Chain A
Amino acid sequence: MARMGTARSGGRGTRKNAATPPAAVQEESVTLSDAQRLELYYWMRLTRSLEERLVNLYRQTKVVGGLFRSLGQEADAVGSAYALERWDVLSPLIRNLGSMLVKGATPVEILKQYMAKADSPTRGRELNIHFGDTDRGFIGQISPLGDMVPVMAGVTLTFRMRNERRVGLVYVGDGATSTGAFHEGINFAAVQRCPLVVVVENNGYAYSTPTNKQTLAAQFIDKAPGYGIAAEQADGNDVIATYEATKRAVDRARRGEGVTLVELITYRRKGHAEHDNQSYVPAGEIERWERENDPIARYLARLRESGVSDETLAEIDARVIREIDEATDLAEQSGAPEALDALRGIYADPAAERPLWFREGKGTVVDAHERPEGWGTFDAPAKGAD
């Protein structure tokens, strides 16, 4: 059994409760070019800035539903998705905006989706980042957690059946590891030797529930031997370490060596959604992570150390803001979906449902009511009868 995780300091119990930011693991990548390393920064910055723009739009009530942030988790989302090839398929979770951007989702799609526009990726049917595109290699999630593990087992089973050298990657949070779907899916994929990478993003909380109320396992990679699969563990706030650990898992899957469980340790700095005031978080915990272990700040320091100039970084920041401004202008121009579109595409055949009679209007079924001849004639009892 392979277990190639980087041993990390911090102690089991403390880390599981996310009370202490992990110490930085300084390992220089030998595989990524300078351009790629800057690209990683671009995706992380785009993720954070796009969410900040969404917060503004949410406060203007232009985001009509909930808003989900991945603040502090940009490195784990971006670094893991970056380990995939264009033809690979991933299934994101609610805090994987960064993974979707890496896989080709565009800011304008995200903005339209949040604003429920007619030309949003789901035509206003689904919320937030719940959308996919199999051509670009990402499959939209649903809200019941863990369900995407079996689905991705089937996607990757197909790769294996067709002898395609493609890999699938599915994200779950610490909370989803408690579901039956997670267990059944990972076991099924393991037995079937599916080329699947299961990434557990351990961000300390599932809504308000801390990880130590989710599982008694000391660490999530401890579950891997039970399934007979390989494991990797990495500091999820280190984009390079995340990339490298995921890349090892992806390579293993592509070589036909089956499933790897990758645990990425990170921290959710915002609530479950924008409305969540995080009253359950111990005082100072969020601030400590922000101060000591912000994934973008850490990566910036590393880039500067390796000689990347402030001008280069400022250019990327400016490009990100320009792109988000353009996307916002474009998204705001789109209209709301036409109501009748709600009835289309439940099935391939029939192509649409009919509106119910009370919505069809005058001159239709509301007025026309076919009756047998003579219906409604009052049959008076014969005179003299009781």
Chain B
Amino acid sequence: MAEITYLEAIREALFEEMDRDANVFCLGEDIGAYGGAFKVTDGLLERFGEARVVDTPISEIAIVGAAAGAAHMGMRPVVEMQFIDFIANAYDMLTNYVATARYRAFLPTPMVVRGPSGGYVRGGPFHSQNPEAGFIHTPGLKVVYPSTAADAKGLMKAAIRDDDCVLFFEHKYLYRRIKGEMPAGDHVVPIGKARLAREGTDVSIITYAATVYKALEAAEQLEREDGLSVEVLDLRSLAPLDDEAIDATVRKTNRVLILHEDTRTGGIAGELTARINERCFEWLDAPVLRVTAHDVPLPYAPSLEDFVLPQTADVVLAVRRLAAY
């Protein structure tokens, strides 16, 4: 079977789900006639028409709010944030309205908010963000962030079918760089399950999204140069977290590095560290370490961006330190 890109995998999921269920529709800025800023929704308008591929005003509050209202009425809207950075505009609608709807009013709100996320693309402060941590903090939302093409498709299908709101982060660095074969048939990846990206016995790296590839590169280098066996756990799902898979890798290697592209303070690494501390304290042979972005807005110049974001060399350094502890 031919390989398709991470981006094409997301598009394939949208086509298949819109074919399967007439209640699924897309809305967002420039998603119809233009096909989306990154062309994720390219071709949807021609296939499904204006009623199901809605070009909206530049109004993140209204787009998310309208999706919620439609979801209450039995629809399954898929919202595009042109860049995930703009999800901040809809923060109130997502956290105060959408996330609480089932709990406070027993209103089903099955909807997906998806959008291009992440850096390493010279996008600057407003086209490179990773705002996932703010949302895993909110009960009532689910958050996924795939790293492979197959997971991008399978998780999108799961997100659309989920009966609650799922935030679907797409890493724009991976859009066209990563390819994969799609499993045959109706390929759905369950939300809440991590993926073991590489098996190892000496040190575990827990990560997700684009930094999965930094971890894999580092693991290869460390095996080659240091004879270290590094395990890489790709979380895929950030809310809910796969505690079982996290515990299993910690108890296997006893040395843990948490790696993410998001900034450090208040990032998901802190939450993971706390969970590991609570449940696996006696299994650790070294303190849990973090490799993350520095706590600064993401700058544009390559020399600046590369310095701020975690790189493979940083991962190698951290794993060596853990192994030597």
A contact patch SS: loop
Cβ of A188 and Cβ of B73 under 8 Å apart? no
Cβ of B97 and Cβ of A151 under 8 Å apart? yes
Question: Distance in Å from the Cβ of B49 to the closest Cβ of chain A?
Answer: 11
Question: What's the tally of chain A residues with a CB closer than 8 Å to chain B?
Answer: 45
B72 at the interface (CB under 8 A from A): yes
Set B57, B67, B100: member contacting A154, Cβ < 8 A: B67
**Which of the candidate stretches B33-41, B101-109, B265-273, B305-313 sits at the interface with the other chain?**
B101-109
B contact patch SS: helix
Question: In the bound complex, what is the Cα–Cα distance between A376 and B107 (angstroms)?
Answer: 50
A28 at the interface (CB under 8 A from B): no
**Which of the candidate stretches B58-66, B213-221, B287-295 sits at the interface with the other chain?**
B58-66
Please give, as numbers and ranges, the residues of chain A lying within 8 Å of B240 by CB-CB distance: 350
Contact string, A88-132, partner B, CB cutoff 8 A, digits 1/0? 000000000000000000000000000000000010011000111
Cβ of B61 and Cβ of A155 under 8 Å apart? no
Cβ of A134 and Cβ of B72 under 8 Å apart? yes
Cβ of B70 and Cβ of A155 under 8 Å apart? yes
Cβ of B75 and Cβ of A140 under 8 Å apart? no
Cβ of A150 and Cβ of B93 under 8 Å apart? yes
Cβ of B140 and Cβ of A347 under 8 Å apart? yes
Question: What's the tally of chain B residues with a CB closer than 8 Å to chain A?
Answer: 46
Please give, as numbers and ranges, the residues of chain B lying within 8 Å of A347 by CB-CB distance: 102, 140, 142, 163-164
B54 at the interface (CB under 8 A from A): yes
Contact string, B142-165, partner A, CB cutoff 8 A, digits 1/0? 100000000000000000001110
Given contacts A147-B96, A346-B140, A347-B102, contact A184 B61 (CB under 8 A): yes
Cβ of A158 and Cβ of B74 under 8 Å apart? yes
Nearest first, the 5 closest Cβ-Cβ pairs linking A and B are A150-B65, A154-B69, A154-B66, A348-B163, A184-B62
Interface residues in chain A, defined as those with a beta carbon under 8 Å from any beta carbon in chain B? 122, 125-126, 130-132, 134, 139-140, 142-144, 147, 149-159, 161, 180-181, 184-185, 187-188, 191-192, 345-350, 353, 369, 371-372, 375-376
- Can you list 29 A-B pairs with a CB-CB distance of less than 8 A? A130-B105, A131-B105, A132-B105, A134-B72, A134-B73, A142-B96, A144-B97, A147-B61, A147-B65, A147-B93, A150-B59, A150-B61, A150-B93, A151-B72, A153-B62, A156-B69, A157-B66, A158-B74, A181-B62, A181-B93, A184-B61, A185-B61, A185-B65, A188-B66, A191-B57, A347-B102, A347-B163, A353-B139, A375-B282
